[in-house]
Amino acid sequence: MSEKMKLILSDTNLNIKPQNDTTFIDLSSLKITNCVGCFGCWTKTPGKCVIRDDAVKVYPLIAKSDRVMYISRTKYGGYDTVMKTMLERAIPIQKAFIRLVNGETHHVQRDVLPKSATIIAYGEISDEEKEIFKDLILRNAYNMNFTDYNIIFTSEEMLEETVRGEVLKWEK
């Protein structure tokens, strides 16, 4: 694995200027179709998605990052479409094979750095939806190799300011 990096994946364009070791990706500007569940990335071309769109540029960066920030609108207590589509397309960084993590069965990771995650969920989110989202990120932590994570709920109006504040914390 080459040098570590920091990655910000956002479902919307934001006016932020992260430092050089941080890559910002506005997923809404990319062409990413949904996973078709073919298992090709596990059983035909292991580690590579058979759909050759912009997602194939993103999931290697997820694997290489030791800090990630995922910024997403939520829907029914989960990620909304743009972020969820990318996360589903990131399964080539896992293997088909199963292992035990904290006593639960999960997929084995390929060359994926353990990572510290900041998840910024925005929009109008009810208390019930917040609880579901927290449970979801706990599950993601097992499946996406998070060593630790922080969830921040914010409004659409406060999003840019919230992200700037979190990026500043990374830079300290």
Binding footprint of another protein on the chain (CB under 8 A): 34-39, 42-44, 46-48, 56, 59-60, 63, 75-81, 84-85, 87-88, 90-93, 95-100, 103-106, 110-112, 128-129, 132, 135-136, 139-140, 143
C-alpha span between 105 and 83 (Å, rounded)? 24
CB of 17 to another protein, least distance (A): 28
CB of 144 to another protein, least distance (A): 8
| β-strand partners of 68 | 7, 117
C-alpha span between 32 and 89 (Å, rounded)? 8
CB of 71 to another protein, least distance (A): 17
Comparison of 18 and 92: residue with beta carbon closer to another protein: 92
The residue assigned the tokens 């932020």 is: 16
In the structure encoding, which two tokens stand for residue 40, read together?
């090709």
